[in-house]
Structure 1
Amino acid sequence: MFTYDEICELDQLCNENEVFAKYVTRLREENNILLLKVTHEFGNPLTLIDSTAQLIDSRYPEVHNIKYWTQLKNDITSLSELLHNFSNYNYCAKLQIRPINLLELIENTVKSFEVVAMEKEISIKIDQLDNPLDCLLMYACDKVKMRQVLTNIIKNAFEATEAGDYIHVDLPTEIVRLEFDGNKREYIKIEISNNGRPLVETEQEPLFIPFVSNKLSFGGMGLQIAYKIVCAHNGTITMQSTEKETSFSIYLPV
């Protein structure tokens, strides 16, 4: 598994040498095919395990009295999600763009975490706008994948926080003009912040790069998938982490 610096060096070599770039691209494609095959082989027995657990759950209700039964089902779900993330990473940039109420999508996504927040004694809050931007009410994007972006980043925030901490979602209040990759455009900004454990510098750089070695997983590939989806929408995600707060800023073009 390559480090962040090694990936940057490979990209630089690809830019300098077309032949080298051709073979690296071929290796990446073959690696993706192998990855899909491996996840498929793991997925089959996992589906049987999940089906068996559901069957036990329905026929023997007393199983809920077993201390670790709920944890077992959660672990099966987590593993299924991880395999799903691996197999779908290469396709998460394929979008179905339609106008949606982005404000409503954000509010509903945050509400879906309220029960978890209560159980973990974490405060999750969303700013309510009296006069939302018009573009939020009819924003062209992939609704399913945009919800996935928000969900993955909020899940990451839950992993970094503990009882007594908070997660805040700040809605766009104005259109900002920024430059990314040499192009200036107008964006709306959605910020998700928490006051949990901060990220050290070595953890920050490879956060959005898939398959980069890191001591902490931060929810598998959730952040990498979120980043790729936003980039496919011609936006970007940035992150800042201090001792007081860690913030993920989602920039979507107007």
Structure 2
Amino acid sequence: MLTYDEQKKMERLMADDEDVRHLITTIKNDYQLTLSQISHEIRNPLTYMNSSVQWIQKMHPEVEEFEFWNQLKDDIRYMKFLLDDISLFSHGEELNIVPMDLREFAYDVKDTLLAEFLQRHIVLIVKLDESYPTFYGDPIRLKQACINLLKNAMESITGRGKIILKIFVQEKKLLIAVKDNGCGMTSEQLTNIFHPFVTSKEHGTGLGLPIVRKIVTAHGGTVRVSSTPGKGSEFQMYLPLLPVASVYL
């Protein structure tokens, strides 16, 4: 995964030289095709395995008493989750840009995760501007980005906690921010959080934050993060207010 400075350098090269732009785009498309092919080839046998496991359990319910049966089902679910994340990562730059109602968007994101917030005894506070200028974006992709950030925030909190979702206009850009009072991250952790498959979670895929950055970058925006161990983290997505062409990295 490229660093922020490397991304900006690549953008300048693509803007200055048509041949470079074509070459980089071709490499990117080949890379995405390879990911999609791998995901497809793994998903088919995994589907058959899942069907077989369900059939075995139906025909032989006593198998549930086997020590590792639940672990087998958990491993299959994890593989499906991993493949879903790979698919999101591979297609994160494919956007369907439309005008968005940002207040409606914010409450849709909240409602999607409301049950999980209640179950975890975590308070979600939504802070919005009184009004917004016209904003163009892909509501499905941006919802994916917000949900990834909110789930990370939830998982960083032990016991009761608080998360703030903010959507403001700031510095002539749209700011979507997620702030938590969870465990926070060290400076060393911060240097690697956007690298694919790097995770400190026991069952994490390491693709959640790379997906967020890919979606935001495709909108022509940037992601910033600040964190203090023991106090919490804040992720900020800055997006242009006017529609822009997707940036391919």
Q: Same fold (TM over 0.5)?
A: yes
Q: Residue 125 of structure 2 aligns with which residue?
A: 126
Equivalent residues of 2:122, 2:154 under 8 A apart: no
Deviation at 1:31, TM superposition (A): 5.5
1:132-143 correspondence runs (5 A): 132-135=130-133, 138-143=134-139
Determine whether 1:247 maps to 2:231.
Answer: no
Q: Deviations over 1:47-71 (max 9, x none)?
A: 1233446667889999999999888
Q: Which residue of 1 aligns with 2:247?
A: none
Letter in 2 for 1:216: S
TM-align CA RMSD = 3.9
Within 5 Å, give how 1:10-159 maps onto structure 2: 32-52=32-52, 76-119=76-119, 121-129=120-128, 132-135=130-133, 138-159=134-155
Q: Give, in angstroms, the shift of residue 78 of structure 1.
A: 3.7
Pairing partner for 1:195 from 167, 181, 190:
181
| Separation of aligned partners in 1, 2:91 and 2:154 | 26
Shift of 1:164: 1.7
Structure 1 position 91, deviation (Å): 2.3
Shift of 1:159: 2.2
SS of corresponding position for 1:113: helix
Amino acid at match of 2:240: P
| 189-198 or 34-43: bigger deviation | 34-43
**Residue 229 and residue 23 in structure 1: after superposition, are their counterparts in 2 closer, same or farther (change >3 A)?**
closer
Other-structure match for 1:230: 216
In the TM superposition, what is the alpha-carbon distance from 1:248 to its structure 2 partner? 0.6
Instruction: Calculate the TM-score normalised by the size of structure 2.
Output: 0.72
Q: Deviations 1:71-106 (Å, cap 9, x if unpaired)?
A: 866654442131122234232111111112122122
Runs of 5+ in structure 1 lacking a partner? 16-21, 178-185
Q: Give the counterpart letter for 1:122 in structure 2.
A: H
Decide whether aligned partners of structure 1 residues 139 and 33 sit closer, same or farther in structure 2, where only a CA change above 3 A counts: closer
1:229 and 1:80, CA in 2 relative to 1: closer, same or farther beyond 3 A? same
Give the length in aligned residue pairs: 230
Identity across matched positions, percent? 28
What residue is the counterpart of 1:176 in the other structure? 170
Structure 1, residues 112-152: CA drift from partner, whole Å, max 9, x if none? 22222232x331312254x62223xx531111111111111
Q: Partners in 2 of 1:104 and 1:47 — Cα distance? A: 36
Residues 199 and 246 of structure 1 are in contact (CA less than 8 Å); yes or no, is this contact kept in structure 2? yes
Q: Indicate the larger mover: 139-148 or 63-72.
A: 63-72
